[in-house]
Amino acid sequence: MFLDSDVSHTRTWRVQALAASGYSIAEIERILADEIFPVCGPNLLAVAGEWAGFDIAWLESCILARERVRSRWGRLFNLGRFAVHHFGEWQATKAELAAVRDEHDAAGRLI
């Protein structure tokens, strides 16, 4: 969701992957805000940002490195906690994810 391109066409894939993850929507939103946003968010401000996708090994490495050095204040004042709530694509993804999980719950399957 942090690419310099239209990511709405990958929403169905994203919803399916998130639904299968086992994380609650609240946990996913926390991961998005606290771990992914600080690393990938600046791409949205780049003049010629990444548009094809982030390398998963690079992303994991950056998140883990950031976690090792992040201060207490960095945890308290994280812009991602405010920003992700205003991402239209995250709101649409979250709504579809909730609907998919409700369908699965109604069918009696575990998510």
pLDDT tens for residues 35-85?
888 888 877 777 667 666 788 998 999 988 887 776 655 555 666 666 777
Domain count, the chain: 1
Do the domain assignments include residue 20?
Answer: yes
Do the domain assignments include residue 83?
Answer: yes
pLDDT at 111: 47
Do the domain assignments include residue 90?
Answer: yes
Number of H helices, E strands in the chain: 7, 0
pLDDT at 23: 95
Quick check: 51 and 3 in contact, CB under 8 A?
A: yes
pLDDT at 27: 95
pLDDT at 21: 93
Do the domain assignments include residue 29?
Answer: yes
Which is nearest to 25 in space by CA: 104, 89, 90, 103?
90
Query: pTM for the complete prediction?
Result: 0.72
Which is nearest to 87 in space by CA: 28, 20, 38, 41?
41
Do the domain assignments include residue 3?
Answer: no
Do the domain assignments include residue 22?
Answer: yes
Q: Worst-scoring range by mean pLDDT, 6-10, 43-47, 89-93?
A: 43-47
Better-scored residue on pLDDT, 107 or 80: 80
Do the domain assignments include residue 110?
Answer: no
DSSP string, 52-100: S---HHHHHHHHHHHHHH--HHHHHS-THHHHGGG-HHHHHHHHHHHHH
- Rounded distance, CA 100 to CA 7, Å? 19
Do the domain assignments include residue 18?
Answer: yes
Range of the domain at 77: 8-105
Cβ neighbours, 10 Å, residue 90: 20
Better-scored residue on pLDDT, 23 or 87: 23
